[in-house]
A = this chain, B = another copy of it.
Amino acid sequence: MEKLYGGMEGGGTKFVCAVGTGPHEIIAETRFPTTTPEETLEKAVAFFSKYNLAAIGLAPFGPLDLNRASPGYGSITATPKPGWSHADIIGPFRKQFNLPLAFDLDVNAAAFGEFFWVPENRELESLVYFTIGTGIGAGVLIDGKVVHGLTHPEAGHVPLPHDLQKDPFPGVCPFHGDCFEGLANGPAIAKRWGQPAESLSADHPAWELEANYIARALTATIYLLSPQRIVLGGGVMEQPQLFPLIRQKVRAYLNGYIPSPVTNGNMDGYIVPPGLGKRSGILGAMALAKSSL
């Protein structure tokens, strides 16, 4: 019998927990709202306790302490979310389970899931997964491993060119104003145009502007990291009209500088939607569990 893995994707509004062998065999799944750390994690522990698991992958929202040498390893660090600053995520699982416990940021798990479970990504030396929704973040995969470094990437906060003539909106990031996330997350779109992003028609000028900021961020990513593929997920990317706009703008911004048929071509296979759809995070948490053995 194939081994069973548990995965937990812990978001700011809901937690998802699943058990299975991989994308094609999920035997149980549950979701519940994010309340207090105690209550929320207890529900997750209780769910996994019903199964005979080989390992569990925990992928909460961040920022996280991912440094195994740190006394705070396995916890959230400072977060504006009430009650969750310094919440110990891994602790309740350690108490209950004598199992390998993988621990990484939700977007890092999603990046790893896209690498691990999507056959055409397994050959790649490098892949970057962006989530663009209420928040913006990225997971960076190099040689099959998630990049952590000093803490972990926070790609939503890269500084971008911002033409105040064309877009006087000051941005919504409480730390940086008009960084990538401040200009381009879901709340920024809603506030700039006075209506929820998902209610804007597909030909609304909002999407052209949104594609512009995303393309700038991808251009920065390509120049700094030269990834072999870029996957774009998250709520905002459910607008299918964004993909061709983004590809076209990235090509224009690169302006032929990189001597690669990939970036000088149509980029249909280079800037892509998630192979796992909306399930990169939860399946990525299971992938982290599986690869922790």
Contact = CB atoms under 8 A, between A and B. Distances in A.
Interface of A: 63, 77-78, 125-126, 138, 140, 142-143, 145, 147-162, 175-176, 216, 219-228, 253, 255-260, 262-263
B159 A219 contact: yes
A62 to B, nearest CB: 9
A140 B259 contact: no
Nearest to A63: B259
A81 to B, nearest CB: 14
Given A143-B143, A149-B225, 18 more contacts: A78-B259, A140-B224, A140-B225, A142-B147, A143-B145, A147-B226, A150-B222, A150-B263, A153-B225, A157-B223, A158-B219, A159-B160, A159-B161, A159-B219, A161-B162, A175-B255, A175-B257, A220-B224
Contacts of A221: 224
A250 to B, nearest CB: 11
A260 B67 CA distance: 11
B227 A225 contact: no
